[in-house]
Amino acid sequence: EAQVTQNPRYLITVTGKKLTVTCSQNMNHEYMSWYRQDPGLGLRQIYYSMNVEVTDKGDVPEGYKVSRKEKRNFPLILESPSPNQTSLYFCASKRGGNSPLHFGNGTRLTVT
């Protein structure tokens, strides 16, 4: 089944404790992206990757890192999480051009 898989689904952590949210897709998509969703703000892009070893900042990249060592994986790293990073995070992938995004099931992160 074609899908984008994120883990974990839920994560509660404390300020400053490094964490990684994993994302994997099995559709051989070149493009992958991370979004955060906050009430009233919709989905805001954090980082995206056009291909292996090619990543760039989205609209809200501060406090996040990503890597794209393999085509299927695109982990999101929070080196020192802060409470304002409490949010619902989505990983997504797509083929090139204006093709639609396929989203993962989301990761709800709480930073206390």
Q: Are strands 10-13 and 107-111 parallel, antiparallel or unpaired?
A: parallel
The one-letter code for the residue type at 64 is Y
Q: How many residues bind another protein (CB under 8 A)?
A: 25
The structure tokens 């609209």 sit at 59
> Which of 7, 58, 67, 73 touches another protein by CB under 8 A?
58
Subset of residues 16 to 55 that bind another protein, contact rule: CB under 8 A: 31, 33, 35, 40-45, 48, 50
In contact, 93 and 3? CB cutoff 8 Å: no
Would you tell me which residues interact with another protein (CB under 8 A)?
A: 31, 33, 35, 40-45, 48, 50, 56, 58-59, 90, 96-98, 100-106
